[in-house]
Amino acid sequence: MAYNNDSQDFLPDDQDEFAMRMPVKSHLQRLDQLLQQLMEELDMVKKEKEQLRNNLIELSQKTSDSFDDANKYLNEEYRRLMQEFHEQNALQLEQHQFLKQQVDSINQDRIKLQQNTIVLENRVQDAEKELGFV
């Protein structure tokens, strides 16, 4: 094997000899072909890069849309729950006020009954005194 300084590759002796005997025109044609292949590969890589960029933009948009939809849903759900909470809280306050009024009314009735009981006991005692039972 011989060492080729230009390509830094190890080539078999017969390839070195073939390359040395090849005319310059053939070398230029091979270089043109290689350059053409490289240009085609570069175009393919550019197209692939552009496709990947477009895919990334599309995914970013979908992700953004999905996030926006989720955010909208969560905000609507939060508003609905807060509305329901306030409605339930208002209902609880109304029920509390009603029950408080009922308790106050019952307490007033109890006080009136106690007062009436005292009045009746006094009348009974007065009646017993008049009739001589005491």
Mean pLDDT for each consecutive 10-residue tract of the chain (134 residues)? 44 64 84 95 97 96 95 98 97 97 97 96 93 79
User: Residues near 1 by Cβ (< 8 Å), separated by ≥ 6?
Assistant: 10, 11, 12, 13
User: Residues near 13 by Cβ (< 8 Å), separated by ≥ 6?
Assistant: 1, 2
Name the DSSP letter for residue 22: S
CA end-to-end span of the chain: 147
The pLDDT, as a whole number, for residue 125 is 93
The pLDDT, as a whole number, for residue 22 is 73
The pLDDT, as a whole number, for residue 23 is 83
pTM for the model stands at 0.50
The pLDDT, as a whole number, for residue 19 is 65
The pairing of beta strand 2-4 with beta strand 9-11: antiparallel
Residue 108: is it exposed, middle or buried by C-beta count within 10 angstroms (0-12/13-18/19+)?
exposed
The pLDDT, as a whole number, for residue 10 is 45
The pLDDT, as a whole number, for residue 123 is 94
